[in-house]
C-alpha cells in the first residue's frame, strides 16, 4: 500500500499564469526513497509545497496510508507526520541548534517558561538516535552547509515525521557531505521512514533512489524503478527527446586582447594573506578563458574586481588599452563590459521588478524620450528578446515568480543583447537542469563566434573544460596554472592544481598576458575535448577541502 | 540630587513606550505608531480618571483605548496588508485629530483642558530610604506608574528570553518564512506584539496626563519617536532600553536644572531632547558602521 498517494493534483498560479501542476500523480511506497526529477520549472517544488500544506491545490486528492487527508497548512502536515527540508534552509541563524529544532514545539517548564535543558536533551536524543554528529548548543551561523542540512533533518525527526521531503538537498553540499547525507537517508529508511527527494542530478538519483517520478511541464510523465532505467532514458523522459551530449567548439583564432589584468592584488583587510596575489592575464577577442578553483581561493574576488564591485590595492586593469582600474561598475558597463553574475537572484536581477524592467535596465537610455520611457518601443524590444531567446513568459510578471532557469535565461539575454565586446560569466549554469544548461552553453559559444572576449568563471570542471580555449586555475589568490585547452588536458591534472597539490607552474602570465604554459598530462581522463559534458555533476565539489 | 530623581520620572514614559516598541521591533516591524498610541492613552486615561474618580479605572481604560486603536492599526497593516509605515502614520494622524476633536466636543476647548477632579498619581514614599544618596533618588519617591514601567521591563525580559512566545517573536523577526514553515502563523505574533505596544504606550501616555491633571493637545510631543530611537540605541534589548532611556531622561533633567542658573535660551532648552536624539542617532550609526567593519574583517580572516 502506498504511504503517500497524490492523485490528479492541479495548481494554477494566476500571478504568473502558469499551470505549475496539471493532473499530477505521485505514489510513494512505505520506506522507499522516491526521487522526483524534472527540468527547472517542471513543478516539483509546487507539488511538494502542496503535500506540506504551504500551498493549496486547486483540485486533487491526497491519501496517507490509504486514508484521504486534507492538508491546509504545515501544521496539518506536521500532525500527519510529514516533514520538509526546503530548497533554501529554513533556519534562524542567531539561534542555537536546540532552539531551531524545538521551535514551535518547545519544551516547557511550569507551563509557560522555556525549558532549555529539556530542549537540549530532546535534541541530543534525536541526534544520537539517528546517528548525527551535532552539538545542540552550537549557533546555526557557525555551521557548514552540510551541518545545516543535518539540523533541518533533525528538526523534522524531532517532530516525529514518517515522511521526509527533501527539495534539492544536495545543491549546497560538497561531495563528501552528499555521501554523508545519502548514508543518513538510507539509514532512515531502515528505521521505517519514507523519503521523497527532489534532484536535478541524475547520477545522484540513480545511486540513492528506489523509484523515480519524472515531471515535465507540470505533468508527471513517468514512474520508473531506478534499477530498470539509465540516466540517458531518464533525461529523455525529462526533456522529451534524447539528450544531445554537447556542442562542437570550432576552432577560433583569437584577436586583440580586450581585457587585461597586470599584477592585480587585493589585500585582506587584516593583511594576513592576499585575496588576490599578483594576478595577470588577458582575454582576447573571440576566445573563452576559463577560470576555475575551489571556493574561497579568489574566484569571487576576481569576479568582483573585474566588475568594479571591489577595489584593487595594486596592479592595473585595462579594457581595450583604457585603464579601468577601480572604475565603477556603472563606468565599466558604459564601456561595454557585460556581466552575468553567479548570484542571479540578488546581483543579477531585481526579483520584484517585472521581466520587462529587468530586460531593459542596461539599455534603458535608448528608450527615453525627453526623460520618459517609450512604452511601445520597450515592449517591442522585450518581446523580440523573449522570442529570439525562446523564453516562455510574459513581460509584466514579476521576475521573482519565475523558475531559476527562466531567470537565468532572461539575465543572459539581457547581457547578450547589449552586444558587448567583453562578457564575464560566473557559474552560468549553477542549479540549472541539463536542457537549460545546454541552452546557456550554446549562447556562450555564439558570443565567441561573434568575436566577444569571454571570461568564464566556474566551479564546474566539465563546463570549463568543454568551453574554454584557455584555462586558468586559481589557488589561494594566485593563478597557479594556465593551460591551452588543446584536448590533452585531463580533469585529474587540473584537480591537482586546484587543490594546490602541484605548484610547478612558474610562468609569469603577466608579461604579454597570453602566456600558455604547463601542459596537461595528456591522458585524456575520459573527457572528450571540445565537448560540453551535459549530464554529469559538478565534479569540483569533491575537490573541496572539507 | 534632584537631577537623578527627575531623570527617573522623565524617562518612565520613554521606557514604557520603548518596551512595547521592542516587541514589534523584534517581530520585524518598524512601529512608528507608538506616538499615536501614547496620545490615545494620554487622553483617555485622564478623561476616564476624572469621570470615574478612580485612578485604577482611568489608567485601565486609558490602556484599553490604546490597545483598541493598536488593534485597528494591526488589522489594517496585517490583515489588509497596508504598508506598515503608512498605516502607522495614519494611526498617528488619527490619534492627534481624534483627541482634539473629542476634547472640543466633550469639553468645548481646543487648548489645555484641566481636570482638577482627576485623582493624583500617588507616590511610593519611603522617607528613610529616599535619603540614601543616588540609590534613594533612583528607586524611591516616584509615582506608581514609574514602578509599573520597571515591572513591565522585567516582565518583557522574561517573556522575550524565557518563554516560547518570546522565542517565536524573535524567530518571526529573523525569518518569518521559517516560522511559517513550522506551521505557525507569523502574523499572529506580529499582532500580539502590536497589542503589547498598545498596552505599554497606553500606560506611558496616562503617566503624562495624570501627572499634570490636564490634557494638552499633542502632549506626547514626539516622545513616541524618541522611544523608537531608544529601542535602537538600546540595541533592541531590555537592558539596553533601560540604559538608553535613562540617558535621555538624565540629559533632559540636566537641561531643566541648568535652566535655573544659566543663561540658556528657552528655545534651546525646549529643543534639547530632539537635539540629543539627533546626536545619539548619529553616534549610534557610527558605532554600528565601525562594528560591521570589524565583523567583516573577522570574516575575511
Ligand atoms: N508563488 C508563485 N507564484 C507564481 N508562479 C509560481 C510560484 N511558484 C512557482 N511558480 C511557477 O510555477 C512553475 C513551477 O515552479 P516550481 O518551483 O514548482 O518548479 P521546480 O520544478 O521546483 O523548478 P526548479 O528546479 O527550478 O526548482 C514555474 O513556472 C514557476 O514560475
Ligand atoms: Mg524547485
A394 vs A174 pLDDT, higher one: A394
How many angstroms from the chain centroid is the CA of residue A431?
Answer: 3
Residue A103 near residue A95 (C-beta atoms within 8 A):
yes
Distance between CA atoms of residues B180 and B187, nearest Å: 9
Q: Is the pTM of this model over 0.80?
A: no
Residue B115 near residue B59 (C-beta atoms within 8 A):
no
Q: Max Cα separation, chain B? A: 69
pLDDT of residue A531 exceeding 70, the answer is: no
Tell me which chain A residue has its CA closest to the CA of residue B180: A74
Q: How confident is the model at residue B1 (pLDDT cuts 50, 70, 90)?
A: low
Residue A399 near residue A354 (C-beta atoms within 8 A):
yes
pLDDT at residue A343 in the model: 78
Q: How confident is the model at residue A530 (pLDDT cuts 50, 70, 90)?
A: very low
Give the nearest partner residue to A91 out of B164, B178, B301, using CB atoms: B178
Distance between CA atoms of residues B158 and B239, nearest Å: 12
pLDDT at residue B195 in the model: 97
Tell me which chain B residue has its CA closest to the CA of residue A77: B183
Contact A92/B at CB under 8 A: yes
pLDDT of residue A10 exceeding 90, the answer is: yes
pLDDT of residue B171 exceeding 80, the answer is: yes
pLDDT at residue A521 in the model: 39
Tell me which chain B residue has its CA closest to the CA of residue A104: B182
pLDDT at residue A472 in the model: 92
Which residues of chain B have a CB within 8 Å of the CB of A91? 175, 178
Distance between CA atoms of residues A41 and A405, nearest Å: 7
Name, in order, each residue with C-beta under 8 angstroms of B282's C-beta and a sequence gap of 6 or more. Answer: none
Residue A45 CB–ligand 1 contact under 6 Å: yes
The grid coordinates listed for A238 are 525529462
Percent of chain A with pLDDT over 70: 87
pLDDT at residue A461 in the model: 78
Lowest mean pLDDT among A189-198, A299-308, A359-368: A359-368
Distance between CA atoms of residues B197 and A339, nearest Å: 47
Which residues of chain A have a CB within 8 Å of the CB of B174? 92-95
- Output the CA A406–ligand 1 centroid distance in Å: 10
Tell me which chain A residue has its CA closest to the CA of residue B159: A113
Name residue, grid cell 528578446. Answer: A385
Contact A499/B at CB under 8 A: no
> Architecture of domain A2-239 in CATH?
3-Layer(aba) Sandwich (3.40)
Cβ distance of B181 and A269 shorter than 8 Å: no
Planar angle of CA A526, A530, A531, nearest 5 degrees: 65
Cβ distance of A76 and B183 shorter than 8 Å: yes
Lowest mean pLDDT among A343-357, A500-514, B145-159: A500-514
Distance between CA atoms of residues A63 and A281, nearest Å: 60
Distance between CA atoms of residues A316 and A280, nearest Å: 9
The grid coordinates listed for B299 are 570574516
Tell me which chain B residue has its CA closest to the CA of residue A90: B178
Percent of chain A with pLDDT over 90: 39
Shortest distance between the Cα of A268 and any Cα of chain B, in A, equals 7
Mean pLDDT over A173-187 rounds to: 83
Name residue, grid cell 496585517. Answer: B78
SS3 A167: strand
Q: Count other C-beta atoms under 10 Å from residue A201's C-beta.
A: 22
pLDDT at residue A243 in the model: 40
Which residues of chain A have a CB within 8 Å of the CB of B297? 269-270
Mean pLDDT over A434-457 rounds to: 88
Residue A16 CB–ligand 1 contact under 6 Å: yes
pLDDT of residue A533 exceeding 50, the answer is: no
Contact A387/B at CB under 8 A: no
Residue A46 CB–ligand 1 contact under 6 Å: yes
pLDDT of residue A92 exceeding 60, the answer is: yes
The grid coordinates listed for B124 are 511610593
Domains in chain B, ordered, with CATH? 2-300 (1.10.3470)
Short-list B61, B14, B13, B2, CA closest to B208: B13
Shortest distance between the Cα of B99 and any Cα of chain A, in A, equals 38
DSSP-assigned letter for residue A528: P
Distance between CA atoms of residues A254 and A338, nearest Å: 19
Which residues of chain B have a CB within 8 Å of the CB of A52? 181
In words, the CATH class of domain A246-336+420-546 is: alpha beta
Give chain B's contact residues with A (Cβ, < 8 Å). Answer: 162-164, 166-168, 170-171, 174-175, 177-184, 296-297, 300-301
pLDDT at residue A34 in the model: 95
pLDDT at residue A170 in the model: 79
Name, in order, each residue with C-beta under 8 angstroms of B246's C-beta and a sequence gap of 6 or more. Answer: B7, B8, B11
Which residues of chain A have a CB within 8 Å of the CB of B167? 95, 99, 103, 106, 114
| Ligand 1 atom 22: residue of nearest CA | A45
Phi, psi (deg, nearest 5) at residue B112: -70, 130
* CA dihedral over A473, A479, A481, A482, signed as positive or negative: positive
Distance between CA atoms of residues A37 and A513, nearest Å: 44
pLDDT at residue A269 in the model: 64
Cβ distance of A93 and B171 shorter than 8 Å: no
Looking at the CA of A36, name the nearest ligand. Answer: 1
pLDDT of residue A537 exceeding 60, the answer is: no
Which residues of chain B have a CB within 8 Å of the CB of A275? 300
Length of chain B counted residue by residue: 301
pLDDT at residue A516 in the model: 38
Residue from A401, A409, A439 whose mutation best tests the ligand 1 pocket (most atoms within 8 A of CB): A401
Q: Count other C-beta atoms under 10 Å from residue B156's C-beta.
A: 21
Counting Cα atoms < 13 Å in the Cβ hemisphere of A417 gives 23
Planar angle of CA A379, A381, A385, nearest 5 degrees: 115
Q: Tell me the DSSP string of A105-151.
A: S--EETTTEE-HHHHHHHHHHHHHHTT----TTSBGGGS-HHHHHHH
Shortest distance between the Cα of B178 and any Cα of chain A, in A, equals 5
Residue A20 near residue A218 (C-beta atoms within 8 A):
yes
Radius of gyration of chain A (CA): 25
| Ligand 1 atom 27: residue of nearest CA | A40
Which residues of chain B have a CB within 8 Å of the CB of A268? 300-301
β-bridge pairing A33-38 and A194-198: parallel
Cβ distance of A104 and B168 shorter than 8 Å: yes
pLDDT at residue A272 in the model: 61
Do the domains A2-239 and A246-336+420-546 sit in the same CATH topology, yes or no?
A: yes
Distance between CA atoms of residues B155 and B171, nearest Å: 19
B221 vs A418 pLDDT, higher one: B221
Which residues of chain A have a CB within 8 Å of the CB of B179? 103-104
pLDDT at residue B137 in the model: 79
Mean pLDDT over B196-213 rounds to: 95
Q: Count other C-beta atoms under 10 Å from residue A15's C-beta.
A: 10
pLDDT of residue A181 exceeding 90, the answer is: no
Distance between CA atoms of residues B293 and B301, nearest Å: 13
DSSP-assigned letter for residue A168: S
| Mean per-residue pLDDT of chain B | 90
Mean pLDDT over A259-275 rounds to: 81
Planar angle of CA A40, A42, A48, nearest 5 degrees: 105
| Mean per-residue pLDDT of chain A | 83
| Ligand 1 atom 16: residue of nearest CA | A43
pLDDT at residue A515 in the model: 37
SS (H, E, C) B69-136: HHHHHHHHHHHCCCCHHHHHHHHHHHHHHHHHHHHHHHHCCCCCEECCCCCCCCECCCHHHHCCCCHH
pLDDT at residue A246 in the model: 57
Distance between CA atoms of residues A224 and A228, nearest Å: 7
SS (H, E, C) A294-325: CCCCCHHHHHHHHCCCCCCCEEEEEECCEECC
Distance between CA atoms of residues A387 and A389, nearest Å: 5
Residue A395 near residue A358 (C-beta atoms within 8 A):
no
Cβ distance of A104 and B183 shorter than 8 Å: yes
- Output the CA A44–ligand 2 centroid distance in Å: 6
Mean pLDDT over B13-31 rounds to: 96
β-bridge pairing A163-167 and A113-114: unpaired
Residue A40 CB–ligand 1 contact under 6 Å: yes
Shortest distance between the Cα of A272 and any Cα of chain B, in A, equals 8
Q: Which atom of ligand 1 is nearest to the CA of A405?
A: 26
For chain A, the structural domain boundaries read 2-239, 246-336+420-546, 343-419
pLDDT of residue B269 exceeding 70, the answer is: yes
Shortest distance between the Cα of B154 and any Cα of chain A, in A, equals 14
Distance between CA atoms of residues B197 and B70, nearest Å: 8
Residue from A9, A12, A13 whose mutation best tests the ligand 1 pocket (most atoms within 8 A of CB): A13
Which residues of chain A have a CB within 8 Å of the CB of B187? none
- The model's pLDDT over A338-375, given as tens digits with 9 standing for 90+, comes to 999 887 777 888 888 999 999 988 888 888 888 888 88
Give the nearest partner residue to A104 out of B163, B174, B184, using CB atoms: B184
Distance between CA atoms of residues B207 and B13, nearest Å: 7
pLDDT at residue A528 in the model: 36
Phi, psi (deg, nearest 5) at residue B156: -60, -45
DSSP-assigned letter for residue A195: E
Give the nearest partner residue to A78 out of B164, B168, B183, using CB atoms: B183
Between chain A and chain B, the number of residue pairs with CB atoms below 8 A apart is: 70
Distance between CA atoms of residues B230 and B241, nearest Å: 6
pLDDT at residue B166 in the model: 96
Contact A54/B at CB under 8 A: yes
Contact A103/B at CB under 8 A: yes
Residue A181 Cα distances to A126, A132, A285, angstroms: 16, 10, 44
ipTM of the prediction? 0.86
Q: Count other C-beta atoms under 10 Å from residue A506's C-beta.
A: 7
Give the nearest partner residue to B164 out of A86, A91, A108, using CB atoms: A108
pLDDT at residue A546 in the model: 35
Name, in order, each residue with C-beta under 8 angstroms of B100's C-beta and a sequence gap of 6 or more. Answer: B110, B217
The grid coordinates listed for A7 are 492523485
Which of A52, A101, A113, A142 should be substituted to probe chain B, the one whose Cβ sees the most B Cβ atoms within 10 Å?
A113
Contact A141/B at CB under 8 A: no
Q: Count other C-beta atoms under 10 Å from residue B128's C-beta.
A: 8
The dihedral region occupied by A168, where left means phi > 0, alpha psi between -120 and 50, and beta the remainder, is left
- The model's pLDDT over B100-141, given as tens digits with 9 standing for 90+, comes to 999 999 998 888 999 988 888 888 888 887 788 878 778 888
pLDDT at residue B88 in the model: 96
Amino acid at each position: 500500500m502506498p504511504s503517500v498517494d497524490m492523485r490528479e493534483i492541479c495548481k494554477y498560479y494566476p500571478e504568473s499564469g502558469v499551470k505549475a501542476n496539471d493532473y499530477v500523480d505521485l505514489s510513494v511506497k512505505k520506506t522507499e526513497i522516491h526521487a522526483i526529477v524534472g527540468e527547472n520549472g517542471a513543478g516539483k517544488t509546487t507539488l511538494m509545497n502542496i503535500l506540506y500544506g504551504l500551498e493549496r491545490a486547486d483540485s486533487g486528492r491526497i491519501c496517507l496510508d490509504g486514508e484521504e487527508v486534507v492538508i491546509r497548512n504545515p501544521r496539518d502536515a506536521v500532525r500527519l507526520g510529514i516533514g520538509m527540508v526546503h530548497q533554501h534552509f529554513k533556519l534562524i541563524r542567531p539561534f542555537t541548534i536546540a532552539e531551531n529544532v524545538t521551535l514551535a514545539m518547545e519544551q516547557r517548564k511550569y507551563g509557560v517558561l522555556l525549558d532549555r535543558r529539556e530542549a537540549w536533551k530532546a535534541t541530543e536524543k534525536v541526534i544520537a538516535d539517528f546517528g548525527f554528529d551535532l552539538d545542540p548548543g552550537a549557533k546555526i551561523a557557525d555551521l557548514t552547509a552540510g551541518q545545516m542540512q543535518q539540523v533541518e533533518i533533525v528538526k523534522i525527526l524531532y517532530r516525529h515525521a514518517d515522511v521526509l521531503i527533501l527539495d534539492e538537498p544536495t545543491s549546497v553540499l560538497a561531495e563528501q557531505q552528499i555521501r554523508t547525507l545519502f548514508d543518513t537517508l538510507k539509514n532512515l529508511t531502515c528505521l521505517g521512514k519514507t523519503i521523497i527527494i527532489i534532484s536535478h542530478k541524475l547520477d545522484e538519483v540513480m545511486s540513492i533512489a528506489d523509484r523515480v517520478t519524472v515531471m515535465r511541464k507540470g505533468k508527471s510523465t513517468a514512474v520508473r524503478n531506478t534499477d530498470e532505467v539509465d540516466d540517458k532514458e531518464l533525461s529523455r523522459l525529462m526533456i522529451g527527446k534524447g539528450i544531445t551530449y554537447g556542442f562542437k567548439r570550432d576552432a577560433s583564432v583569437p584577436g586583440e586582447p580586450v581585457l587585461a589584468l597586470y599584477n592585480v592584488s587585493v589585500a585582506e583587510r587584516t593583511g594576513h594573506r592576499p585575496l588576490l596575489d599578483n594576478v595577470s592575464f588577458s582575454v582576447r577577442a573571440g576566445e573563452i578563458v576559463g577560470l576555475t578553483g575551489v571556493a574561497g581561493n579568489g574566484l569571487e574576488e576576481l569576479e568582483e574586481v573585474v566588475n568594479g564591485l571591489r577595489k584593487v590595492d595594486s596592479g592595473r586593469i585595462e579594457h581595450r588599452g583604457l585603464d579601468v582600474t577601480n572604475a565603477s561598475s556603472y563606468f565599466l558597463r558604459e564601456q561595454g563590459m557585460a556581466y552575468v553574475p553567479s548570484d542571479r537572484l540578488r546581483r543579477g536581477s531585481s526579483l520584484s521588478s517585472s521581466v520587462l524592467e529587468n530586460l531593459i535596465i542596461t539599455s534603458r537610455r535608448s528608450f527615453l524620450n525627453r526623460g520618459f520611457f517609450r512604452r511601445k518601443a520597450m515592449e517591442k524590444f522585450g518581446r523580440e528578446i523573449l522570442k529570439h531567446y525562446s523564453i516562455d513568459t510574459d513581460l509584466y510578471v514579476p521576475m521573482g515568480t519565475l523558475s531559476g532557469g527562466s531567470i537565468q535565461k532572461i539575465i543572459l539575454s539581457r547581457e547578450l543583447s547589449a552586444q558587448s565586446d567583453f562578457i564575464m560569466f560566473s557559474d552560468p549554469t549553477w542549479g540549472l537542469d541539463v536542457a537549460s544548461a545546454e541552452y546557456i552553453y550554446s549562447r556562450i559559444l555564439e558570443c565567441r563566434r561573434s568575436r566577444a572576449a569571454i571570461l568564464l568563471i566556474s566551479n564546474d570542471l566539465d563546463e570549463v573544460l568543454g568551453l574554454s580555449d584557455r584555462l586558468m586555475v586559481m589557488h589561494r589568490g594566485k593563478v597557479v596554472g594556465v593551460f591551452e585547452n588543446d584536448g590533452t588536458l585531463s580533469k585529474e591534472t587540473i584537480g591537482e592544481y586546484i587543490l594546490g597539490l602541484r605548484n610547478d607552474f612558474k610562468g609569469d602570465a603577466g608579461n604579454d598576458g597570453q602566456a600558455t604554459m604547463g601542459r596537461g598530462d595528456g591522458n585524456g581522463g575520459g573527457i572528450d575535448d571540445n565537448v560540453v559534458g551535459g549530464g554529469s555533476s559538478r565534479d569540483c565539489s569533491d575537490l573541496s577541502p572539507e | 540630587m534632584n537631577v537623578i530623581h527627575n531623570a527617573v520620572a522623565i524617562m518612565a514614559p520613554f521606557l514604557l513606550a520603548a518596551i512595547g516598541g521592542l516587541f514589534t521591533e523584534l517581530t520585524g516591524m518598524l512601529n512608528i505608531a507608538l506616538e499615536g498610541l501614547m496620545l490615545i492613552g494620554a487622553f483617555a486615561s485622564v478623561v476616564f480618571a476624572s469621570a470615574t474618580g478612580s485612578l485604577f479605572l482611568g489608567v485601565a481604560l486609558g490602556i484599553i483605548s490604546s490597545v483598541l486603536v493598536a488593534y485597528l492599526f494591526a488589522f489594517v497593516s496585517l490583515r489588509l496588508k497596508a504598508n506598515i509605515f503608512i498605516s502607522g502614520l495614519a494611526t498617528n494622524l488619527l490619534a492627534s485629530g481624534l483627541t482634539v476633536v473629542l476634547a472640543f466636543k466633550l469639553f468645548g476647548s481646543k487648548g489645555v483642558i484641566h481636570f482638577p477632579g482627576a485623582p493624583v498619581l500617588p507616590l511610593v514614599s519611603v522617607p528613610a530610604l529616599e535619603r540614601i544618596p543616588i540609590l534613594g533618588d533612583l528607586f524611591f519617591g516616584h509615582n506608581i506608574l514609574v514602578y509599573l514601567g520597571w515591572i513591565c521591563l522585567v516582565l518583557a525580559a522574561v517573556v522575550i528570553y524565557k518563554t516560547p512566545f518570546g522565542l517565536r517573536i524573535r524567530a518571526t523577526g529573523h525569518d518569518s518564512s521559517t516560522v511559517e514553515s513550522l506551521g505557525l502563523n507569523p502574523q499572529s505574533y506580529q499582532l500580539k506584539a502590536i497589542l503589547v505596544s498598545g498596552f505599554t504606550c497606553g500606560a506611558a501616555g496616562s503617566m503624562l496626563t495624570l501627572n499634570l491633571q490636564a490634557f494638552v493637545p499633542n502632549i506626547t510631543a514626539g516622545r513616541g519617536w524618541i522611544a523608537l530611537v531608544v529601542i535602537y540605541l538600546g540595541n533592541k534589548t531590555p537592558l539596553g532600553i533601560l540604559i538608553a532611556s535613562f540617558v535621555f531622561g538624565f540629559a533632559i533633567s540636566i537641561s531643566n536644572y541648568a535652566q535655573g542658573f544659566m543663561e540658556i535660551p528657552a528655545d534651546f532648552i525646549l529643543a534639547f531632547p530632539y537635539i540629543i536624539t539627533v546626536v545619539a542617532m548619529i553616534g549610534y550609526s557610527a558605532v554600528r558602521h565601525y562594528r560591521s567593519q570589524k565583523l567583516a574583517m573577522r570574516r575575511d580572516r
